[in-house]
Structure 1
Amino acid sequence: LNGLIATGYVRDASAARSLGTSALCVDALRARIARAIATALPAGDAATPLLQALAVGDQRGLNEAHWRVLRATGVGHLIAISGLHVGLAGIVGALLVYAFTWLWPRVLLRWPRRVLAAPVALGAAWGYGALAGYGLPTVRTLLMIAVVAWASTRRRGVGGMQTLALALLAVLVFDPLAVLGAGFWLSFAGVALLVYALQAGRGWRAWLAELGLAQAVMALALLPLTVLLFGQASRVGPLANLVAVPLMGFVIVPLTLLASLMLVAGLPGGVAVTRFAAWLMRVQWDLLQHMAAWPWALAWLPWAGAGAFVLACIGVLWMLAPRGVPARLLGLPLLLPLLWPQQQRPVVGEFQAWVLDVGQGSAVLVRTARHALLYDAGPRYRSGFDLGEAAVVPSLQALGVRHLDRLLLGHGDADHAGGAAAVLATYPDTLLQGSEPERTGLPLLPCVRGQRWHWDGIEFSVLHPGIGDAVSGNESSCVLAVRGRGGTLLLSGDIGARSERAVARDWAANNQAGTQPLVLLLAHHGSRFSSSGALLD
C-alpha cells in the first residue's frame, strides 16, 4: 500500500469511539463520485472501473486483466491520476480566468492576467489533487504548479529544472520514504529528461510535434529505469501512448471530470456525458487490448548488471542531448548490453538453484544447461494475493527462463501449490508432476520413489513417497534429489520426522557418505516437527 509507513492495533476496542463525519470529507466526496459513475452506467459496464480510476483515483475495480493490458502497452500512467491530469485541471482554471478577463477587461487595469490566473490555476489543481488522493505524481505536479504560480505573481522567470528541483526538495522534506517507491524515480526522472530533451516551440504545429516527440522521449528516457525496477519493457508503448495520450488527456479525462461534476451537482445531462465518456473509453480500451495481445508486445529482460545499466543511462542522455551535439545516434549501441544481456547458464554436468523469497511458502528454481525445473510455486492466500504471480513468475522472467520444462508440486497445501495457476498461465507447456492431484485440481503425473531422469548430465531422483506408502498431507510430500558434478541438492517438502527417517535410510543405502557436498532445504520451513536428527546427521 503506497503511503503506508507503520501499522498498529487497538488493545481495548471498548475505548474506541467515532469522531464523527463531515459533509466536507474528501474521502466521502470521492466515494460519492465513484458511486454516481457506477449508477450512471449499465451494470457490469467495462468502462466503469476505468472512469472511476480517472475521476477520483479509485482503482479497486481494476483487476489483474486490466493491469496486464496496461503493463503490456505502457499506458498505466494514464489510468492512475498523474501529473497530466492535474496539469489539465490547472490549465482549465487558468482558461476560466482568461475567459473572465475577456468578458470584463476592466479587471486587467488593476491586476495582470497571469497574476489573476496563477492562484485560480493552483486552486483548481489542488482541488483535483485532493480528489485524486495526493499520489506522488500528483504531489510533484502540484508543487511544480505552486512554484510557477509563485513566480508568476512575483513576475519572475523560473526554469523547468529549477521548478523540478524545488518540487523534489519539497517531496523529500515532507516524505523522505518516497525514495523507496518506484514511482518517485520514474516520476522525477521522466520529467527531468523531458525538460532536458524538449525545446519549446510556437504555434499549433510545433505543439503537435512536441506532443509526439514527448512520447518517444518518455519511452526512451525511462527504458533503463523500467528494466531496472520491473525487468520488462513495452515494445508497443510509444505507439500506444501516441494514440492514448491525446484521446485520454484532452477528451476522456475532461469529459469524465465534467460528468462527475454534473452527476454530483444533480445537473441534467450528467448521465449522457458519462455514457459518452464510457463509450470513448471502451473504444480506446478495445484498441489497447488488441495491442497487448500481440505476441511481442511486452519484453521481459533479465537483469544485465550495474555496468549495463550505467551504459544505458549514458546512451539515453547522449541520444536525448540538445540539438548541436554531434552523432547522437551513437548512444544507441550503449543500450544493447541492457536489452540483450549475456545469459550465464551452467555447463553440462552442473546446475544452478535459486530458493525464491515467497514468505511462508516454497519455490525453488533448478536450471541445467538447457532445462529448467520449478519445485513448488509459492503460496496464494484467501485474500487473493498470489505469490506465484507477484514473486515467482517475475523472478523466473528476470532470470531469463523462457521455457519451464517441469513444475513439481511437493504436495497440495496452498503455500506450495497456490501459485501454480499463475505459473502455468505464463508457461502453459510445462509438464506437471507432484503429490495430491485431488487437492490441487491439476492433472499431475504421480511422484513416486525410484523415478529418475537426466538433463544435461544432471540426475533428478524422487526419494519419497513410495508406491505403497499410506501417507497424505505433509507426509505425502515429494522429496527430490538433484545430483550434479559439484554436489547434491535435497528438496524435502513438508515431510515430518517419520518420513525423514525413511528418506535417511534410503539415502544411506544408496549414497556413499562424504563423496559430494550436500545442500538440504529443511523440511516444513524448519518446523520443530521436522528436521530431525535422523536426516540432519
Structure 2
Amino acid sequence: MREQAAIWLAPAFLAGVLAVQWMPVLPTQGWLLPVLVLSAWLAWSSAQARGVAFLLLGAAWAAWCGVRAMESRLPRELEGRDLSVTGTVSGLPQVRAEATRFVLTVERAAVGDEPVALDGRLRLAWYAAGGKAVPAIVPCARWHLTLRLKRPRGLVNPGGGDGERSALERGIVATGYVRDDASNRSTGVRMFCVDGWRAAIADGIERRVADVRSAALLRAFAIGDTRGLTQRDWELARANGASHLIAISGFHVGVAAVAGVWLARLAYACWPGFGLRVPRRQVQALAALLCAALYSALAGFGLPTVRTLLMIAVVALARCSRRHVSSAQALALALLAMLAADPLAVLSAGFWLSFAGVAFLIYSLSPRAQGWRGALRELTLAQAVMAVALLPLSLWFFGGACLVGALSNLLAVPLVSFLVVPLTLFGTALLLMAPPLAGPVLVAAGWLCAGLWWLFERMAGWPGAQVYVPAARPWALGLALLGAGWMLLPRGTPMRWLGALLFLPLAWPPVQRPQPGAFRLWMLDVGQGLAVVLRTREHALVFDAGARFPSDFDLGEAAVLPSLRALGIARLDLLVVSHADNDHAGGAPAVAQAHPAAARLGGEPERMPIATVPCAAGQSWNWDGVRFRMLGPAARAAAARGNDRSCVLLAEGTGGRVLLTGDIGLPAERGLPAAVGTGPPLVLQVPHHGSRTSSGPDLVRGLAPVLALVSSGWRNRFGHPHPLVAQRYAAFRVPMLNTAEQGAIEVDFPADAPPHMVRAWRRHRFRYWRE
C-alpha cells in the first residue's frame, strides 16, 4: 500500500472500528471470520473499493477483538469462589498501610485440583487483616495465590467514568482480592523484566530527591509512575490544563529519539571510517528508533508513547528505505498500526486526545521562520492550536475544561520540555549506568518541579481556571470539532471567528428544568451506600453522598460531584446526611467543599465528618411548589445511636411524592405511614438497602408505594436486598429497582401525572462491554 493512500484509508479503518463500539451486542465469531477474509481480499484486489473494504475490515477486526476480550472475562460460575492462581506481577504495585494493590498476569488457574480457563490480567488487592502485614509485592515476581474474583463491574452514573469499558481496554478480565491462605507464596522473580527496572528507577529518584512532591513528579516524568501524586496534585494539574505534562507524553519519546541521533553522531565522530561502510542517515534513524523503543518500554508503553513510537518507526523505516514520508502520512500509518495492534484503544480518552492533538497541529501549523524567534513563535502558536483543538474533547470526556490552560501551558511547556524532561531523562540514564552521578542532576530537576508547582498553585486560584458543563449529545461534539477546524483555517480565510458558534451546543447544552410543583430525582450508583440528588425548578439538594475508603477513593468526589455537573446543577442549596455511617457520610466533605454555600442537615451530628444542623421531625420548607417535611428522627430517637437516628425526608409535589429513609430499621418505621399521610402516589427509598431488619409489612402496606428504590452494591457481602424483603415488596405488588442492577436511576415527578422512571443508566445507551 502506498504511503499516500494511508491518509484516507486510516480514517476509513477508524470509522469501522468506532462503529463497533456503539453496538449493544457483538456478532458471533462465525460471522466475523468470513467478513474479515472478504474485506481483506477486497482491500488487496480492488483499488476502487479499498475505502469500503478498509471500513469493513476495521469493523470486523474490532468486533473480533471485542468478542475475544469479552470471552476472556472470568466465567460467571466462578464468581465468588476461591481460585488457586499462579501468575506474574505486572506494572508497579501500589503499597498503602491498609492494602497493596497490583495487577497479576495469569499463567494458570484452578478450582481445587481442577484447571479452569482463565487468561489475562487480574486487578487485585491484598488487605492487611488480623494484625498480619501484607508481604512485599515487587514487580516481575511470580506468586501462587488463593483469590476471590468477580467479573469487572463499575459504577454507572451521569457524568461518571465507565469502569467496565476501562477494564476491557486495559485487558482486565477480573477483579478481586487475596484470601488469607497458607498456600500463598512467592515462587521467585523474573530476572529480565522492564517493570523491575522501572521500580529501581522510581526507588532511586525517591532516595535522591528529598521533597516528596518533586520526587513524585520526577517519577511521573521519567517512567510514568503516578503512584506518589495525590488527589490535590491532580486537581492542580487539571485546573492548569497540564495533566498531559505530568504523565509520559509523546514529547518525552521524542527527546529519547533525539538522544539516539546524538549518540549515533558521536559514534561517527569517534570512528569516522564507520561512515564508509554504513550510511550515516540510516544508522541515525535506527538509533533514534532504538532509544525511543527502550524509553517507551521504561515508560510502560502508555498510549501517547506508543503513538509517538509508531510515528518514529514509520519515519525511520522510510529513511532506511530512502523514501519521503510527510507528517500526515506518518500519523496515518501510526494510526493504522495502532488500530491493527489494538482496536480497543479507541475506548480510551487518551487515544482521541493524542491523535486529535497531533492531527490538528499538522493541519494548522506550517514551517515558518527559523532560529529561536521562529521556535518561540511555533511554540506559542502550538499552544493556541491545542487550546482550541482539544477544548471539544476535554468538554466531552471530562465534562469541563481549563480556561487558563493556554497561558499556563505557554509557561510550563518550555520549562518541562527543554529543562525538566531532558534533565530527568539524563538523570534516569545515569541511575542505570552511573548511579553516583545521578543525584545532582535529579536534585536540579526537582528544584524546577517545585518552581513549576508553585506557579500552578497560584494560577489554579484564578477565576475560570476550571469550568464544567452539563452532558451533551454526540452531535454537539461533532459540531464543536467542526468549529475548531473552521477556526484553525489558514490566515486570511474570512469569518473564521464564526467557528466559535459551533461550540455553543457542547458548551451550553439545554438543561430540562421541572415545572413548578414538579421535581426530578436521581438515585446514584454508589455501591453499598446511598446518594440521592433531587431537583426542583430552581433548587437542588443532595441526600447522602456515598462512602470514602482508606484508599482515598471518595464517592462524593467520584460519583456525586460529576453527576451534579453532568445534570447541569451548578448550585446546591442543601446537603442532607442521613446519619454518620461511612457509606452515607463518607463523601459528604467533598460535596460540602465543592458547594460551601449549601445548608447542611444531618443525623448524628456529633459523629459527622462535617458540621451539620441536626435533623428533627417537624422541619419543613417549600421550593417551587414542592413541599419538604422532615419526619425523622423523632424526639424519642434523639438519644438513640446509629441507624434509627437517620434523617427521614418527604418531598411532596402536586403529582407525586418520595420518601427518603436513610438506614432506619423496624423501630423507626413505626408511625411513618401515619406521618406520611395520604396524597399523590409515593416512591419509597427502601430503608437500610433492603436489610432484613427493615421494610416491615406495616410500612410497605401502610405506605403502598408505587415504586421502591434500593441502593446496594453488586454482590455485596450483606446480601442486600434480603430475599425476604424482596418477596415482601413483590407480595404487595410494588416494583423494586436496584442500583446494583440498573446503575443510577432517574425518576420524574411531573406536576400533572404520577411519578415514573425515566431511565436506568446501566441500560441507557447500552454497550457490549457492560454487564
Q: Which of the five TM-score ranges fits, normalised by the shorter chain?
A: over 0.9
Higher alpha-carbon deviation: 367-376 or 200-209: 200-209
> Which of the residues 216, 221, 236 maps onto 1:49?
216
CA displacement at 1:105 relative to structure 2:
4.1
Q: Does 1:473 align with 2:619?
A: no
For residue 520 of structure 1, give the secondary structure of its aligned residue in structure 2: strand
Give the TM-score normalised by structure 2. Answer: 0.66
For residue 416 of structure 1, give the secondary structure of its aligned residue in structure 2: helix
Corresponding residue for residue 624 of structure 2: 456
CA displacement at 1:103 relative to structure 2:
4.9
Corresponding residue for residue 522 of structure 1: 686
Q: Does 1:532 align with 2:696?
A: yes
Corresponding residue for residue 154 of structure 2: none
Indicate how the Cα distance of structure 1 residues 246 and 501 shifts in structure 2: closer, same or farther if over 3 A, else same.
Answer: same
Indicate how the Cα distance of structure 1 residues 170 and 532 shifts in structure 2: closer, same or farther if over 3 A, else same.
Answer: farther
For residue 6 of structure 1, give the secondary structure of its aligned residue in structure 2: strand
Corresponding residue for residue 741 of structure 2: none
For residue 432 of structure 1, give the secondary structure of its aligned residue in structure 2: strand
CA deviation map 1:260-286 (0-9, x unaligned): 222343455422222111111111111
CA displacement at 1:253 relative to structure 2:
0.8
Corresponding residue for residue 301 of structure 1: 469
The CA distance in 1 between the partners of 2:454 and 2:520, in whole Å, is 42
For residue 549 of structure 2, give the secondary structure of its aligned residue in structure 1: coil
Corresponding residue for residue 365 of structure 1: 533
CA displacement at 1:54 relative to structure 2:
0.9
Q: Does 1:349 align with 2:513?
A: no
CA deviation map 1:3-56 (0-9, x unaligned): 3511267799666664432443322222222222122122x4431111111112
Higher alpha-carbon deviation: 522-531 or 15-24: 15-24
CA displacement at 1:464 relative to structure 2:
2.0
Amino acid aligned to 2:674: R
The CA distance in 2 between the partners of 1:391 and 1:471, in whole Å, is 31
Corresponding residue for residue 106 of structure 2: none
The CA distance in 2 between the partners of 1:11 and 1:284, in whole Å, is 44
CA contact (8 A) 1:355 1:363 kept: yes
Corresponding residue for residue 752 of structure 2: none
The CA distance in 2 between the partners of 1:394 and 1:13, in whole Å, is 39
CA displacement at 1:355 relative to structure 2:
1.7
CA displacement at 1:337 relative to structure 2:
2.9
The CA distance in 2 between the partners of 1:132 and 1:488, in whole Å, is 55
> Which of the residues 494, 497, 509 maps onto 2:663?
494
Q: Does 1:216 align with 2:384?
A: yes
Q: How does 1:50-449 map to 2 (within 5 A)?
A: 50-201=217-368, 203-204=370-371, 205-266=373-434, 268-322=436-490, 325-449=493-617
For residue 468 of structure 1, give the secondary structure of its aligned residue in structure 2: helix
CA displacement at 1:153 relative to structure 2:
0.6
Higher alpha-carbon deviation: 320-329 or 465-474: 320-329
CA displacement at 1:422 relative to structure 2:
0.6
For residue 214 of structure 1, give the secondary structure of its aligned residue in structure 2: helix
The CA distance in 1 between the partners of 2:180 and 2:636, in whole Å, is 54
The CA distance in 2 between the partners of 1:407 and 1:180, in whole Å, is 35
CA displacement at 1:112 relative to structure 2:
3.1
CA contact (8 A) 1:459 1:482 kept: yes
CA contact (8 A) 1:89 1:128 kept: yes
CA deviation map 1:291-323 (0-9, x unaligned): 112132111112243343222121011112345
CA contact (8 A) 2:585 2:609 kept: no
For residue 579 of structure 2, give the secondary structure of its aligned residue in structure 1: coil
More helix by share: 1
CA deviation map 1:320-361 (0-9, x unaligned): 234565432221121123223344322332222222222221
CA contact (8 A) 2:213 2:229 kept: no
The CA distance in 2 between the partners of 1:180 and 1:395, in whole Å, is 21
Indicate how the Cα distance of structure 1 residues 414 and 16 shifts in structure 2: closer, same or farther if over 3 A, else same.
Answer: closer
Indicate how the Cα distance of structure 1 residues 475 and 16 shifts in structure 2: closer, same or farther if over 3 A, else same.
Answer: closer
CA contact (8 A) 2:589 2:610 kept: no
CA contact (8 A) 2:588 2:610 kept: no
Higher alpha-carbon deviation: 497-506 or 252-261: 497-506
The CA distance in 2 between the partners of 1:45 and 1:307, in whole Å, is 44
For residue 596 of structure 2, give the secondary structure of its aligned residue in structure 1: coil
Give the TM-score normalised by structure 1. Answer: 0.93
CA deviation map 1:68-98 (0-9, x unaligned): 1100001111110111111111111112223
CA contact (8 A) 2:586 2:609 kept: no
CA displacement at 1:256 relative to structure 2:
1.1
Higher alpha-carbon deviation: 468-477 or 370-379: 468-477
CA displacement at 1:180 relative to structure 2:
2.1
CA displacement at 1:128 relative to structure 2:
0.8
More strand by share: 2
Amino acid aligned to 1:363: A
For residue 376 of structure 1, give the secondary structure of its aligned residue in structure 2: strand
Indicate how the Cα distance of structure 1 residues 534 and 185 shifts in structure 2: closer, same or farther if over 3 A, else same.
Answer: farther
Amino acid aligned to 1:393: L
Higher alpha-carbon deviation: 298-307 or 405-414: 298-307
CA deviation map 1:231-264 (0-9, x unaligned): 1100110111111111101111111121222234
CA deviation map 1:470-525 (0-9, x unaligned): 64322222111111123112112112234334212322xx324xxx2322222222
Indicate how the Cα distance of structure 1 residues 108 and 381 shifts in structure 2: closer, same or farther if over 3 A, else same.
Answer: same
The CA distance in 2 between the partners of 1:461 and 1:349, in whole Å, is 15
CA displacement at 1:190 relative to structure 2:
1.5
Identity of aligned residues (%): 51
CA deviation map 1:98-144 (0-9, x unaligned): 34334544433333332111111111011111111111111111112
CA deviation map 1:189-237 (0-9, x unaligned): 2222222222234522433322221111111111111111111100110
CA contact (8 A) 1:196 1:322 kept: no
CA contact (8 A) 1:477 1:495 kept: yes
Amino acid aligned to 1:172: L
The CA distance in 2 between the partners of 1:340 and 1:441, in whole Å, is 35
Indicate how the Cα distance of structure 1 residues 196 and 528 shifts in structure 2: closer, same or farther if over 3 A, else same.
Answer: farther
Q: Does 1:504 align with 2:697?
A: no
Amino acid aligned to 1:490: L
Amino acid aligned to 1:33: I
Amino acid aligned to 1:517: P
CA deviation map 1:381-415 (0-9, x unaligned): 23221110111112112223222211101111111
Higher alpha-carbon deviation: 102-111 or 470-479: 102-111
Indicate how the Cα distance of structure 1 residues 530 and 185 shifts in structure 2: closer, same or farther if over 3 A, else same.
Answer: farther
Higher alpha-carbon deviation: 170-179 or 359-368: 170-179
The CA distance in 1 between the partners of 2:503 and 2:521, in whole Å, is 29
For residue 514 of structure 2, give the secondary structure of its aligned residue in structure 1: coil
The CA distance in 2 between the partners of 1:269 and 1:342, in whole Å, is 59
Q: What's the Cα RMSD here?
A: 2.3
Name the count of aligned residue pairs.
531
Amino acid aligned to 2:193: C
